[in-house]
C-alpha cells in the first residue's frame, strides 16, 4: 500500500533532482542569450532521454517482463521522433523546410496528445500480457498517420502570425491536461500492481507534464516567451522521471537484487558447514571456502590453482574420479559420489560429494561446482552402532546356547553321580566317572565365559581397590609370562575404589596378560598401568554405550605383533581367534568384554601392526570406601533330607536327574513337565513343602508364573528355581526379585541338597515377583 511517507521518501532523493536541475539551470542561462539555442538544446535533451528510455526498456524487457514500462518505452520512442520533427521545422532551424511556427506546433501538439494517450492507456496494459513488437508497431502507425496528415495540410492550424495561438491549440492543451488528470487516477487505481517507487515517478512525470501543458496555453508568441521557457524546463523534469522509472525498475533494482543475492550466496558459502569447492576444466581448484579448509586442513591460499590429485585425492581412486569429472565436463548432469579423500596431514576421511557443471551463457561447461560433506564421524558412529548390534545379537545367541548346553551338562553330571553310586568301590569305574565330571566342569567353565560375554554372568560387585588386586596378581602373572617377557606394573597408588566383581576382574586381567604374552612369542615388554580418569560428554560420545563420569582406567599394553585393522572389530566376538587350532578357545577377550560391559564400564583397544597393542578398561568409580571381601568355603555335607517336593522341568532327561537326586536324598518327589500339569497337582489339595521349577519353560506358564499360582493355592510353599542362565539373566528376563533362590545348571547332588535345605529351613527368603 502506498503511503504519504513513501511518496515523500522517493521524491526527496537527491539523486532524483540534481541532474535535471543542473540541466535546467544551464538551459535557463542559455535562454537569456539565444532562445533558438535554448529551444533546440531543451528539445534535444528530452529527445535523447526518450531514446534512452526506449533503449533501456526494450533491451531489459527480457528479464524485467514489465509490460507497464515497455509500453512507455515504445511510446516514448515515437514521442521523441515527433519531437525531432517539431525541433527541425522550428523557425530558425530550417532543416527539413523553411521555419514554420504552425508546422512546428502541429508536430508538438501531436506529440503531446500521444504522450497523454500513453499515460491514459497504461493502466489497461497491466491487465493483460502484451507483445512489445505489437505495441511498438501500433504506436508507430499512429504517429505515421498524424505525420502524414500534417504533411498533407489536413491537420488543424495551431498558431496564426500576428494573432497568436488558435483555439484548437489552446483547447488541445486543456484536453491533454484533462487526459493526464484522468490518467493519474487510472494509474493510481492500479497501485497494488505497480512498484511503489515506479508509481511515484510515473505520477510525478504526469504532474510535470500537466504543468508544462498549462504553461504552453499562456503565451501569445512562440519566440522568447517566458511561459515557453518554463514549459520546456518542466518537460525535461517529466521525461527525466520516466527515465528514472525505467532505470530503477529495469536496472537499479535488478542490480541491487543481484548484488543482494550475491552477498547472501557469499554469506551462505562462507558459513555453510558444507565445503564449497569450484574447479576449472583442468581439474584445478578455483574456489575454496572456510568449511573446505576445516574438512581438508588446507587454507585457500595453499590449494587454489593446484590439481585435485596433488591435494585431496588418494592415488587409488584418481582414474575413477577422472572419469566422473569428464562426465561432468560433458554436461551429463549433476553427479553424487561418496569416496575416500586425504587431508593435509595424510588422514583418510569419507566424503559425500555433490558435483554440478557450471554452464556459461553459451551453454558450454566452464567448470565444476562441488559441495562436500565430511561423513567420517557419521560413518564411524554407524560402524559402532552396527558393531554394537552385532555384539548384542551374538550375545543373545551365546546366552541361549549356554542355557541349552548347561541342560546337557546337567544330564551328564547327574548321570555321572548316579553311576558313582552304582559303581560303589569299583576304582576303575570311579576313574571314568571322574573324567566325565571333569569334562562337565570344563564345559561349565566354557558356558560361564559365554554367559560373561552375553553379560549374563552372575557378578558380586564390591567397592574394590584395583591397585591392590593388580599387585596381588604380580607373582602369578610373572610365572605365566616366562622369562622372555618383561612385566612392568606402574605405580597404582591413589586410585579411586571401583565397583567391580573382584574375581571376574582378576580373570579378565589374567586373560589380557595371556593374550599379550601370546602376541610376543619372541619376548617383549608387557606394561600394566592404572589411573583415575574423568570422561565428559565429548570424550564419552566417541564410544558406543559409554557414559560420562569417573572411572578407574586399567591399561594393559604389549610390544607384540599388533592386530590387523581388518580384524580389530572382531576380537571381542566369541570363538574368534588368530591362534592355531588347540591353542585358544577365542573366549578370553569376549569374557573380558562382557565383564566390563556388565560392570557398566567400557573397553577400548588400540593396536599398530608390528608395534603392539594397548587394551584399556574403564571401570566405574565407587562412591563407597574400599571393602575387603573374603569368600567363605564351607564343606558341603552329604546328608539326608525330608519333605514333599514338586519338580517342574520340560526337559525329561534333566527332570529325571533332578527327581533321582532328590529321591535318593530322602525326599518325596512329584514331577511335572509343564505349568498346567504342575498346577493340576497343586489343585488336588496335596500339600507340598517345596516347588523346584525351571525358570524358562516353553509355551504357557514360566517358572515365575507357576510360583505365583502355587503361592495362591498353598501360601506356605517354598520355591527354588533352576536355570541354565545366570541369576542376573533370570532376574532380568522374568522380573524376579533378587532375594529369590536359584541353582544354576549343571549342579552336583550335594549342591542341590544344600540349596533345598536352605530354602526349607528358611535360611533364605523366597521372594518372587510376577512378570510385568
What digits encode the pLDDT tens for the residues 682-726? 888 788 999 999 887 876 788 888 888 898 898 989 999 887 665
Write the CATH number for 739.
Answer: 3.40.50.2300
What is each CA distance from 385 to 48, 338, 378, 590, 607, in whole angstroms?
74, 20, 10, 18, 21
Query: Is residue 114 scored above 90 in pLDDT?
Result: yes
Give the number of other Cβ atoms within 10 Å of residue 367's Cβ: 20
The predicted structure's pLDDT at residue 492:
74
- Min mean pLDDT across 222-226, 322-326, 339-343, 661-665 is at 222-226
The predicted structure's pLDDT at residue 140:
92
Residue range 491-520: mean pLDDT, rounded = 83
Residue range 267-294: mean pLDDT, rounded = 85
The predicted structure's pLDDT at residue 731:
54
The predicted structure's pLDDT at residue 144:
94
List the one residue out of 417, 410, 420 whose CA is nearest residue 444. Answer: 410
Among 345, 374, 403, identify where a domain stops: 374
503 and 486 belong to one structural domain: yes
45 and 123 belong to one structural domain: yes
Query: Is residue 772 scored above 50 in pLDDT?
Result: no
Phi, psi of 437 (to 5 degrees): -65, -40
The predicted structure's pLDDT at residue 771:
37
Q: Percentage of the chain with pLDDT > 70? A: 79
Task: List residues bridging with 602 in a β-sheet.
Answer: 618
Residue range 474-491: mean pLDDT, rounded = 81
Task: Establish if 467 belongs to a structural domain.
Answer: yes
Query: Is residue 388 scored above 90 in pLDDT?
Result: no
CB 304 within 8 A of CB 288: yes
pLDDT higher for 764 or 528? 528
Task: Establish if 27 belongs to a structural domain.
Answer: no
246 and 320 belong to one structural domain: no
280 and 240 belong to one structural domain: no
Question: What's the number of domains the chain is made of?
Answer: 5
Burial class (CB in 10 A: 0-12, 13-18, 19+), 660: middle
Task: Establish if 17 belongs to a structural domain.
Answer: no
Residue range 603-615: mean pLDDT, rounded = 85
Rounded-to-integer distance, Cα 579 and Cα 569, Å? 17
Q: CA angle, 754 as apex, 717 and 692 as ends, to 5°?
A: 35
Among 588, 620, 652, identify where a domain stops: 620
Give the number of other Cβ atoms within 10 Å of residue 148's Cβ: 11
515 and 649 belong to one structural domain: no
pLDDT grade for 471, boundaries at 50, 70 and 90: confident
Task: Establish if 12 belongs to a structural domain.
Answer: no
pLDDT higher for 730 or 26? 26
- Could you list the residue range(s) of the whole structural domain that residue 424 is in? 382-453
Q: How far apart are the first and last CA of the chain?
A: 67
Query: Is residue 580 scored above 60 in pLDDT?
Result: no
663 and 549 belong to one structural domain: no
The predicted structure's pLDDT at residue 660:
84
pLDDT grade for 233, boundaries at 50, 70 and 90: very high
Q: In 424-501, which residue ranges form alpha helices assigned H by DSSP?
A: 427-453, 466-472, 474-481
223 and 172 belong to one structural domain: yes
Query: Is residue 82 scored above 90 in pLDDT?
Result: yes
- Min mean pLDDT across 394-398, 430-434, 461-465 is at 394-398
Among 229, 256, 283, identify where a domain stops: 256
Task: Establish if 22 belongs to a structural domain.
Answer: no
Which residues touch 634 (CB under 8 Å, ≥6 apart)? Answer: none
pLDDT grade for 453, boundaries at 50, 70 and 90: very low
67 and 164 belong to one structural domain: yes
449 and 478 belong to one structural domain: no
Task: Establish if 707 belongs to a structural domain.
Answer: yes
pLDDT grade for 98, boundaries at 50, 70 and 90: low
Write the CATH number for 106.
Answer: 1.20.1070
CB 601 within 8 A of CB 618: yes
pTM over 0.75: no
Angle between helices 196-215 and 67-88 in degrees, nearest 10: 20
pLDDT higher for 655 or 397? 655
Task: Establish if 771 belongs to a structural domain.
Answer: no
Long-range contacts (CB closer than 8 Å, 24 or more residues apart) made by 148-155: 150/103, 150/106, 150/107, 150/110, 155/106, 155/110
112 and 247 belong to one structural domain: yes
560 and 655 belong to one structural domain: no
Residue range 566-573: mean pLDDT, rounded = 70
Rounded-to-integer distance, Cα 730 and Cα 742, Å? 9
Query: Is residue 145 scored above 90 in pLDDT?
Result: yes
Residue range 496-517: mean pLDDT, rounded = 83
Task: Establish if 7 belongs to a structural domain.
Answer: no
Rounded-to-integer distance, Cα 317 and Cα 224, Å? 86
pLDDT grade for 50, boundaries at 50, 70 and 90: very high
pLDDT grade for 1, boundaries at 50, 70 and 90: very low
The predicted structure's pLDDT at residue 476:
75
188 and 49 belong to one structural domain: yes
Amino acid at each position: 500500500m502506498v503511503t504519504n511517507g513513501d511518496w515523500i521518501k522517493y521524491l526527496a532523493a537527491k539523486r532524483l533532482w540534481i541532474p535535471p536541475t543542473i540541466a535546467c539551470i544551464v538551459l535557463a542561462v542559455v535562454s537569456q542569450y539565444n532562445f533558438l539555442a535554448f529551444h533546440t538544446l531543451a528539445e534535444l535533451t528530452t529527445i535523447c532521454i526518450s531514446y534512452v528510455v526506449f533503449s533501456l526498456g526494450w533491451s531489459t524487457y527480457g528479464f524485467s517482463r514489465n509490460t507497464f514500462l515497455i509500453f512507455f518505452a515504445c511510446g516514448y520512442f515515437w514521442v521523441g521522433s515527433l519531437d525531432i520533427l517539431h525541433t527541425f521545422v522550428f523557425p530558425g532551424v530550417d532543416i527539413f523546410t523553411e521555419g514554420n511556427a504552425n508546422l512546428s506546433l502541429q508536430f508538438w501538439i501531436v506529440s503531446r496528445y500521444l504522450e497523454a494517450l500513453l499515460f491514459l492507456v497504461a493502466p489497461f496494459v497491466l491487465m493483460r500480457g502484451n507483445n512489445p513488437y505489437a505495441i511498438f508497431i501500433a504506436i508507430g502507425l499512429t504517429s505515421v498517420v498524424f505525420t502524414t496528415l500534417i504533411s498533407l495540410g489536413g491537420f488543424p492550424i495551431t498558431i496564426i502570425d500576428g494573432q497568436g495561438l488558435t483555439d484548437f491549440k489552446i483547447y488541445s492543451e486543456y484536453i491533454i491536461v484533462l487526459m493526464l488528470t484522468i490518467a493519474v487516477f487510472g494509474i493510481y487505481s492500479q497501485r497494488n500492481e505497480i512498484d511503489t517507487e515506479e508509481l511515484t515517478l510515473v505520477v510525478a512525470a504526469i504532474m510535470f507534464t500537466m504543468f508544462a501543458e498549462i504553461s504552453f496555453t499562456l503565451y501569445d508568441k512562440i519566440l522568447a516567451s517566458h511561459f515557453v521557457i518554463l514549459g520546456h524546463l518542466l518537460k525535461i523534469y517529466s521525461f527525466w522521471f520516466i527515465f528514472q522509472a525505467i532505470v530503477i525498475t529495469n536496472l537499479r533494482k535488478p542490480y541491487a537484487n543481484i548484488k543482494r543475492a550475491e552477498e547472501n550466496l557469499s554469506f551462505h558459502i562462507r558459513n555453510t558447514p558444507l565445503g564449497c569447492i569450484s574447479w576449472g576444466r583442468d581439474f584445478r581448484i578455483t574456489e575454496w571456502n572456510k568449511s573446505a579448509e576445516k574438512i581438508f586442513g588446507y587454507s585457500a591460499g595453499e590449494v587454489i590453482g593446484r590439481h585435485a590429485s596433488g591435494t585431496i585425492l588418494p592415488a587409488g581412486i584418481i582414474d575413477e574420479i577422472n572419469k566422473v569429472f569428464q562426465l561432468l565436463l560433458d554436461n551429463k548432469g549433476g553427479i553424487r559420489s561418496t569416496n575416500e579423500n586425504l587431508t593435509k596431514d595424510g588422514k583418510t576421511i569419507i566424503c559425500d560429494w555433490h558435483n554440478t557443471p557450471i554452464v556459461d551463457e553459451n551453454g558450454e561447461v566452464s567448470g565444476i561446482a562441488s559441495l562436500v560433506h565430511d561423513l567420517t564421524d557419521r560413518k564411524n558412529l554407524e560402524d559402532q552402532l552396527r558393531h554394537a548390534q552385532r555384539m548384542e545379537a551374538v550375545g543373545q545367541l551365546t546366552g541361549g546356547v549356554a542355557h541349552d548346553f548347561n541342560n546337557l551338562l546337567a544330564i551328564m553330571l547327574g548321570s555321572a553321580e548316579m553311576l558313582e553310586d552304582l559303581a560303589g568301590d569299583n576304582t576303575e569305574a570311579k576313574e571314568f566317572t571322574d573324567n566325565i565330571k571333569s569334562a562337565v566342569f570344563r564345559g561349565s567353565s566354557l558356558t560361564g565365559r559365554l554367559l560373561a560375554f552375553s553379560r549374563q554372568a552372575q557378578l558380586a560387585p564390591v567397592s574394590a581397590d584395583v591397585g591392590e588386586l593388580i599387585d596381588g596378581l604380580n607373582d602369578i602373572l610373572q610365572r605365566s609370562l616366562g622369562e622372555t617377557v618383561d612385566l612392568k606394573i606402574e605405580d597404582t597408588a591413589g586410585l579411586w575404589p571401583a565397583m567391580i566383581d573382584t574375581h571376574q576382574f582378576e580373570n579378565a586381567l589374567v586373560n589380557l596378560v595371556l593374550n599379550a604374552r601370546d602376541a610376543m612369542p619372541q619376548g617383549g615388554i608387557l606394561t600394566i598401568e592404572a589411573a583415575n580418569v574423568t570422561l565428559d560428554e565429548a570424550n564419552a560420545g566417541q564410544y558406543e554405550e559409554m557414559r560420562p563420569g569417573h572411572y578407574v582406567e586399567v591399561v594393559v599394553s604389549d610390544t607384540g605383533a599388533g592386530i590387523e585393522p581388518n580384524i580389530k572389530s572382531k576380537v571381542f566376538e566369541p570363538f574368534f581367534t588368530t591362534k592355531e587350532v588347540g591353542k585358544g578357545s577365542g573366549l578370553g577377550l569376549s569374557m573380558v568384554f562382557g565383564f566390563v560391559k556388565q560392570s557398566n564400564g567400557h573397553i577400548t583397544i588400540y593396536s599398530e601392526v608390528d608395534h603392539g597393542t594397548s587394551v584399556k578398561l574403564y571401570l566405574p568409580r565407587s562412591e563407597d570406601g574400599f571393602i575387603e571381601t573374603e569368600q567363605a568355603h564351607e564343606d558341603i555335607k552329604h546328608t539326608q533330607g525330608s519333605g514333599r517336593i514338586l519338580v517342574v522341568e520340560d526337559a525329561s532327561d534333566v527332570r529325571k536327574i533332578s527327581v533321582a537326586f532328590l529321591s535318593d536324598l530322602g525326599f518325596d518327589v512329584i514331577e511335572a513337565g509343564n505349568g498346567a500339569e504342575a498346577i493340576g497337582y497343586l489343585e488336588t489339595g496335596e500339600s507340598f513343602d517345596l516347588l523346584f521349577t525351571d525358570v524358562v519353560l516353553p509355551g504357557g506358564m514360566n517358572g515365575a508364573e507357576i510360583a505365583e499360582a502355587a503361592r495362591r493355592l498353598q501360601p506356605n510353599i517354598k520355591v527354588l528355581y533352576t536355570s541354565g542362565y545366570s541369576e542376573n539373566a533370570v532376574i532380568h528376563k522374568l522380573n524376579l526379585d533378587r532375594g529369590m533362590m536359584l541353582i544354576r545348571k549343571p549342579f552336583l547332588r550335594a549342591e542341590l541338597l544344600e540349596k533345598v535345605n536352605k530354602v526349607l529351613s528358611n535360611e533364605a527368603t523366597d521372594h518372587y515377583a510376577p512378570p510385568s
